Amino acid sequence: MQNENNQGFDAAIDNAMRPVADTVSEFIFFSVEVFGADIPLIVAWLVGGGVFFTFYLRFINFRGFAHAINIVRGKYVNANDPGQISQFEALTTAISGTVGIGNIAGVAVAISIGGPGATFWLIVAGLLGMSTKFAECTLGVMFRKYENGVVSGGPMYYLEKGLALKNWPRLGKGLGIFYAISMVLGCLGIGNMFQSNQAAAIFIDVTGGQDSFFANQSWLFGLLLALAVGVVIIGGIKSIAATTAKLVPGMALLYVLTALLVLIINYQSIPSAFVAIWDGAFNPQGISGGIIGVMIVGFRRAAFSNEAGLGSAAIAHATARTKEPVSEGFVALLEPFIDTVVICTMTALVIITTIYDPELVGSSVAGIELTTRAFASTLAWSPIPLSVAAILFAYSTMIAWSYYGLKAFTYLVGDSFIADLGFKIFFLAFVVVGSSVELAALIDLSDALVFIVAIPNLLGLYILAPLIKQELKQYEEKYLG
């Protein structure tokens, strides 16, 4: 009876929130039809940013890759440089925010809707996103703020300070406040409730499904998850960075090695998988909108996965120990490569080489279930490590997004012990809420608010693009000349 009452309460809240969520989502994800395909303007806006900065910065995503690796492995480390955490820790913190359930579930949905060809465009969008990440994280360090030994940065600060340099102080301040409010509300969805909800569902499934101890009391799992998140985030960015520096490589390695094992066993299917990806990208069959349709599916999944253009990663990278803003831009460009080009592509190849069925194209299946079936079809025991990786992905995402939300909140109200602790408790409460209720409308609303930040962020990046280019030129003359 209690469970029925809870479901009724959830439904009442969801029904009340649905009109608001639908209105906001329709605005943010407004689409136009081009050659029979619906193109969400926000996705075009994000991909357009990647295209612009790739050409404007002379393919920094490719020519800067080797230098980025050298920075991360410590070739240019100076312990006396300003900042709070190492550049490697900044990278793992930001990656922890992007590598989430979407890398497992979102790719499967993309393939089920757009076929194998969506993988090609997902990779292209990931490569383009590397240039956007370079731009926003360079600015994140350039305009960061020091106060009482604490570093704060991100789009809020480079919009305010950067546009002030262009003699648009009111516009910059307004965009910074708009970004911060949207991030505070938005972090509760994509970086909190959605992650805890999916983590709870996965945990319950592998511990017995409806027979699981947690089946009718998922709030208890949420409480344990909130405590685990709280242990880390209460300590601030140094604690978060120290945790992600250990967690991210391990969880990514666990997932990639399991995927590699599946691909090794099915090695004979790999050549035909690449053929299917290539043919599907340019000669799609049964997909609404043809080539444009499959392109948009891939671009959309990549944009939602690596978050290039949202500016969220710049909040973490702003804390890195470096005196050269551009060096952190180089580090940041590795994120979309790891998140989208490597991990998402591995997921796609596992699905295509195992259980992919052309009859699936045009449908929308439960992504996590399709991916789990693909792994299990080759390795019967794989759902266990896959579930562990998925829960760790969700956990690490919540850790990173708690910091993003906190920095946006303190930008609005000022840094103080009360503001810091109050927001963290607020964030942890929503971890429990997300795991125990089905408030789809609330999650849809907060997700939409996350993506609306791309509008002011990319607008600021375009305005400040000459400054980024100038900094890059000076850096290359100094270190790469």
DSSP-assigned states of every residue in 223-261: HHHHHHHHHHHTT-HHHHHHHHHHHHHHHHHHHHHHHHH
Residue keyed to tokens 């242990």: 231
Task: State how far the alpha carbon of 132 is from the alpha carbons of 75, 248, 344, in Å.
Answer: 24, 22, 19
Q: Would you call 109 helix, strand, or coil by DSSP?
A: helix
User: Does residue 307 carry a pLDDT above 50?
Assistant: yes
The pLDDT, as a whole number, for residue 15 is 73
Q: Taking phi first (over 0 means left), then psi (-120 to 50 degrees means alpha), and beta for anything else, what does residue 285 get? A: beta
Alpha-carbon dihedral sign for residues 85, 86, 88, 91: positive
Please tell me which of 10-14, 58-62, 248-252, 374-378 the model is most confident about, judged by mean pLDDT. 58-62
Q: Please choose, from the candidates 249, 217, 245, the residue with its C-alpha nearest in 3D space to the C-alpha of residue 232.
A: 245
- Rg of the chain (C-alpha set): 21
Please tell me which of 53-57, 215-219, 275-279 the model is most confident about, judged by mean pLDDT. 53-57
State the average pLDDT over residues 448-475: 91
User: Does residue 292 carry a pLDDT above 80?
Assistant: no
Angle at 468 between CA 462 and CA 469, to 5 degrees: 100
Per-residue pLDDT tens for 230-276?
A: 989 888 788 888 888 888 888 888 888 999 999 999 999 999 999 98
With pLDDT > 70 as the criterion, what percentage of the chain qualifies?
A: 90
d(CA 427, CA 367) in angstroms, rounded, equals: 26
The pLDDT, as a whole number, for residue 114 is 80
The pLDDT, as a whole number, for residue 317 is 92
State the average pLDDT over residues 445-461: 83
Q: Would you call 32 helix, strand, or coil by DSSP?
A: strand
With pLDDT > 90 as the criterion, what percentage of the chain qualifies?
A: 38
pTM score of the predicted model: 0.89
The pLDDT, as a whole number, for residue 442 is 62
The pLDDT, as a whole number, for residue 246 is 85
Q: Please choose, from the candidates 105, 24, 14, 26, the residue with its C-alpha nearest in 3D space to the C-alpha of residue 440.
A: 14
Quick check: 53 and 62 in contact, CB under 8 A? Answer: no
State the average pLDDT over residues 386-391: 85
CB within 8 A of 145, min separation 6: which ones?
Answer: 151, 152, 153, 157
User: What is the rounded average pLDDT for all residues in the chain?
Assistant: 85
Domains of the chain: 2-479 (1.20.1740.10)
Q: DSSP letter for 217, please.
A: -
Number of H helices, E strands in the chain: 24, 4
CB atoms within 10 A of CB 47: 26
Confidence class for position 476, pLDDT limits 50, 70, 90: very high
d(CA 192, CA 433) in angstroms, rounded, equals: 9
State the average pLDDT over residues 418-443: 82
